Amino acid sequence: MRIGEFVRTLNTTLDTVRHYEEIGLLSPVRNDNKKHYYDEHLQAFRTIQELKDAGLSLEDILLLFELKESVGCGSEVLIREVTAKFENQIATLDAQMQALRIRRDNLRGTLDELRRVTQE
Judge whether residue 13 has pLDDT over 90: yes
CB contact at 8 A, 2 and 35: yes
Integer Cα distance of 92 and 10 in angstroms:
29
DSSP 118: H
Quote the DSSP letter at residue 28: P
Mean pLDDT of 106-112: 97
Residue 37, class by beta-carbon neighbours within 10 Å (0-12 exposed, 13-18 middle, 19+ buried)?
buried
Which CATH fold topology does 1-53 show?
Answer: Multidrug-efflux Transporter Regulator; Chain: A; Domain 2 (1.10.1660)
For residue 120, pLDDT over 80 is answered with no
**Structure confidence by residue, pLDDT tens digits, 15-58:** 999 999 999 999 999 988 899 999 999 999 999 999 999 999 99
The pLDDT value recorded for residue 35 is 92
Burial class (CB in 10 A: 0-12, 13-18, 19+), 3: middle
* pTM tops 0.85: no
The average confidence (pLDDT) of the chain is 95
Report the candidate in 42, 84, 119 with the shortest Cα–Cα distance to residue 50: 42
Average pLDDT over residues 76-88: 96
Per-residue pLDDT, averaged over 58-80, amounts to 95
